[in-house]
């Protein structure tokens, strides 16, 4: 039986306003080749100007991942010829990266595990090749987008560990605000280095599978490559060091090319850019600006807001959810009710098909208003779902939606009393059971009244009326 060893290289696009060496907009999508200029299109003779925000974000990441920050780092040209790279070199960092060492903690099956980070460097993204109908086209909108590369040590030993680690890393990157980490849009991409060996023996030859863009692809490609390498070795063969491609639709990996070694890229120092020199004060200034991470937020939710640990962990799994919760709880002063509603309604509604991400379409202020409307009995919980649908990604206020949709619940006790009486008359045997002391049928009767009044009654009031009517009869 072979044991697998995995090391990951994660490419993460930074969420800066402009590209790394020019003023072009850094934004996903857009008409092809509309966010381009002579610099990011690789015209001869142009000069790059460094975007300091990209350096700051990389240092912020290094600090959050416990790295040593280099006071002095420099740029290098990584030369290769491929149409997505207009200059025929990628401006990257070779021997002096911005961050070295470090580690990430992640959780798997309730245990805290650690992956060591080897280095984090900054480089520029390449353009995107589009192959359609036998024609290939190139979109350079992505060319020159700041790209941070995080390289781990080979500390992972299963597909489950790889995915749990990636999930933990993704969460940190989103919390510190350096990237939107949307795997389906390519702002987070993962290369997997994998080798197998019998326990106790030295590491085998590794292969690298490139550009995996979902947790599912990472998992399946690892299992595929592990089986493939075991098969080769069991048949008496040897593993070739190579770069591989993953076909996600077919769930199959292919050999792409023999693995390049560093010398194949003819790295040399970039003559058009000054080295990056960071003072201790500057690094401290960046450290102070790191937003609160998951751990701290869990502590605040459980200790200050009185939430169960279970809630705190679910709410902090995604920064957008955590921000929504905090904003809502700042206005609506019942954190547990806010938590319950977010964990049920908001997370269900925000879940996107085939994606790990949650999309939030409601502001903290609007959510606090909805919760207040439920709490004060203006709308029922059931009706709040229609209100949520109405205000999701829109400009209408919850109260306006309640009025427009006629969702105000019936709190007129005279009208409600006649509805309750009708239900009791129509369900005589249930009413008898209730009178005989079977409290459980109360919920059934309340349900019948809610149904008869199309969900517009206040269930608490209905319960009180049933009790009153059946006790005095």
Residues engaged in binding Mn ion (CB under 5 A): 149
Smaller CB distance to Mn ion: residue 170 or 319?
170
Residues forming beta bridges with residue 151, ordered by sequence position: 9, 119
Q: Out of 40, 315, 338, 368, which residue is the one contacting Zn ion (CB under 5 A)? A: 40
- Is position 54 an interface residue for Zn ion (rule: CB under 5 A)? no
Q: Between residues 40 and 217, which has the closer beta carbon with respect to Zn ion?
A: 40
Structure-block tokens of residue 115: 């992956």
Q: How far is the CB of 27 from Zn ion (least distance, A)?
A: 12
Rounded CA gap, 74 and 94, in Å?
8
Which lies closer to Mn ion via its Cβ, residue 149 or residue 326? 149
Stretches 33-41, 44-52, 61-69, 240-248: which one binds Zn ion (CB under 5 A)? 33-41
Q: Which of 4, 6, 8, 24 binds Zn ion (CB under 5 A)?
A: 24
> Is 196:231 a contact under the CB 8 Å cutoff?
no
Instruction: Say if strands 188-197 and 128-132 run parallel, antiparallel, or are unpaired.
Output: unpaired
* Residue 276: contacted member of Zn ion, Mn ion, none (CB under 5 to 8 Å, by partner type): none
Q: Which residue is nearest to Mn ion (CB)?
A: 149
Q: Report residue 52 as tokens.
A: 């300091």
> How big is the site for Zn ion, counted in residues (CB under 5 A)?
5
Q: Which does 217 bind (CB under 5 to 8 A by kind): Mn ion, Zn ion, none?
A: none
For 356, the token pair is 């790990």
Task: Report the candidate in 123, 185, 170 with the shortest Cα–Cα distance to residue 352.
Answer: 185
DSSP 153-220: -S-B-SHHHHHHHHHHHHHHHHHTTS----GGGTSEEEEEEEEEE-TTSPP---EEEEEE-SHHHHHH
| Tokens encoding 262 | 């560093």
Q: How far is the CB of 127 from Zn ion (least distance, A)?
A: 11
Could you tell me the smallest distance in angstroms from the CB atom of residue 320 to Mn ion?
28
Q: How far is the CB of 10 from Mn ion (least distance, A)?
A: 10
Rule CB under 5 A: say whether 37 interacts with Zn ion: yes
With CB cut-offs between 5 and 8 Å by kind, which of Mn ion, Zn ion, none does residue 40 bind? Zn ion
Query: What's the closest the beta carbon of residue 372 comes to Zn ion, in angstroms?
Result: 48
Q: Residue 190's binding partner, choosing from Mn ion, Zn ion, none, with beta-carbon cut-off 5 to 8 A by kind?
A: none
Q: Give the binding range for Zn ion (CB under 5 A) out of 40-48, 199-207, 211-219, 289-297.
A: 40-48
Q: What minimum distance in Å lies between the beta carbon of 219 and Mn ion?
A: 22
Nearer to Zn ion, 40 or 360 (CB): 40
Least distance in Å: CB of 21 to Zn ion? 8
Among Mn ion, Zn ion, none, what does residue 24 contact (CB within 5–8 Å per kind)? Answer: Zn ion
The Cα 396–Cα 225 span in angstroms is 51
DSSP-H helix ranges across 235-360: 280-288, 294-303, 309-316, 319-331, 335-341, 347-350
Token pair belonging to 390 = 């109405």
Give the pairing of strands 207-212 and 188-197.
antiparallel
Going by the DSSP 8-state scheme, the letter that residue 358 receives in this structure is B
State the binding partner of 37 from Mn ion, Zn ion, none, CB within 5 to 8 A by kind. Zn ion
CB of 377 to Zn ion, least distance (A): 57
Q: Is the four-CA dihedral 94, 96, 99, 100 of positive or negative sign?
A: positive
Select from 20-28, 180-188, 320-328, 391-399 the region that touches Zn ion (CB under 5 A): 20-28
**Out of Mn ion, Zn ion, none, which partner does residue 149 contact, by CB within 5 to 8 A per kind?**
Mn ion
312 binds Zn ion (CB under 5 A): no
Q: By C-beta, is 34 or 211 nearer to Mn ion?
A: 211
* Interface with Zn ion (CB under 5 A), residue from 22, 55, 188, 362: 22
Query: 349, 340, 344: which is closest to 311 by C-alpha?
Result: 340
Beta-carbon count within 10 A of 52 CB: 11
Minimum CB separation from Zn ion for residue 354, in Å?
32
Nearer to Zn ion, 24 or 315 (CB): 24
The answer to whether the beta carbons of residues 63 and 174 sit under 8 Å apart is no
Place of tokens 């990628």: 90
Cβ 181 to Mn ion, closest distance in Å?
Answer: 17
Dihedral sign of CA atoms 171, 173, 179, 184 in order: negative
* Six token digits for residue 331: 């206005």
Stretch that binds Zn ion, among 23-31, 263-271, 309-317, 439-447 (CB under 5 A): 23-31
Cα-Cα-Cα-Cα torsion 147, 361, 315, 399, nearest 10 degrees, comes to: 150
Which 194-253 residues touch Zn ion, going by CB under 5 A? none
The contact set with Zn ion (CB under 5 A) reads 22, 24, 37, 39-40
């Amino acid at each position: 039986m072979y044991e697998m060893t995995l090391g990951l290289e994660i490419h993460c696009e930074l969420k800066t306003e402009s590209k790394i060496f020019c003023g072009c907009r850094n934004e996903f999508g857009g008409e092809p080749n509309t966010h381009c200029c002579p610099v990011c299109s690789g015209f001869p003779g142009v000069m790059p100007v460094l975007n300091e925000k990209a350096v700051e974000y990389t240092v912020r990441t290094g600090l959050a991942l416990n790295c040593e920050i280099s006071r002095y780092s420099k740029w290098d040209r990584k030369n290769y010829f491929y149409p997505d790279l207009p200059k025929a070199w990628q401006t990257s960092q070779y021997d002096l990266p911005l961050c070295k060492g470090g580690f990430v903690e992640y959780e798997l099956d309730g245990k805290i595990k650690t992956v060591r980070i080897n280095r984090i460097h900054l480089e520029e993204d390449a353009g995107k090749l589009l192959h359609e109908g036998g024609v290939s086209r190139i979109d350079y909108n992505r060319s020159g987008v700041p790209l941070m590369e995080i390289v781990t040590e080979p500390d992972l030993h299963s597909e489950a560990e790889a995915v749990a680690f990636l999930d933990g890393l993704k969460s940190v990157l989103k919390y510190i605000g350096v990237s939107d980490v949307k795997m389906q849009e390519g702002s987070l991409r993962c290369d997997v280095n994998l080798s197998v060996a019998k326990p106790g023996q030295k590491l085998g030859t590794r292969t690298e599978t490139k550009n995996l863009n979902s947790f599912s692809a990472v998992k399946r490609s690892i299992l595929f490559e592990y089986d493939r390498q075991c098969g080769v070795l069991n048949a008496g063969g040897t593993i070739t060091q190579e770069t591989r491609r993953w076909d996600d639709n077919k769930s199959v990996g292919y050999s792409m090319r023999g693995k390049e070694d560093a010398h194949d890229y003819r790295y040399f120092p970039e003559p058009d850019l000054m080295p990056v020199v960071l003072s201790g004060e500057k690094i401290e200034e960046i450290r102070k600006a790191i937003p609160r991470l998951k751990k701290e937020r869990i502590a605040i939710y459980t200790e200050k807001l009185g939430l169960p640990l279970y809630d705190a962990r679910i709410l902090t799994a995604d920064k957008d959810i955590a921000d929504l919760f905090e904003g809502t709880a700042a206005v609506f002063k019942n954190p547990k009710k806010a938590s319950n509603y977010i964990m049920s309604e908001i997370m269900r509604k925000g879940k996107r098909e085939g994606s790990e991400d949650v999309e939030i379409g409601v502001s903290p202020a609007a959510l606090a208003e909805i919760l207040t409307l439920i709490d004060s009995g203006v709308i029922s919980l059931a009706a709040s779902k229609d209100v949520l649908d109405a205000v999701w990604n829109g400009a209408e206020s919850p109260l306006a939606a309640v009025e427009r949709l006629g969702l105000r619940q019936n709190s007129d006790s005279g009208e409600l009393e006649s509805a309750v009486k009708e239900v009791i008359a129509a369900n005589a045997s249930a009413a008898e059971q209730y009178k005989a002391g079977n409290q459980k049928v109360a919920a059934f009767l309340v349900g019948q009244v809610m149904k008869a009044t199309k969900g517009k009654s206040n269930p608490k009031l209905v319960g009180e009326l049933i009790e009153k009517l059946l006790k005095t009869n």
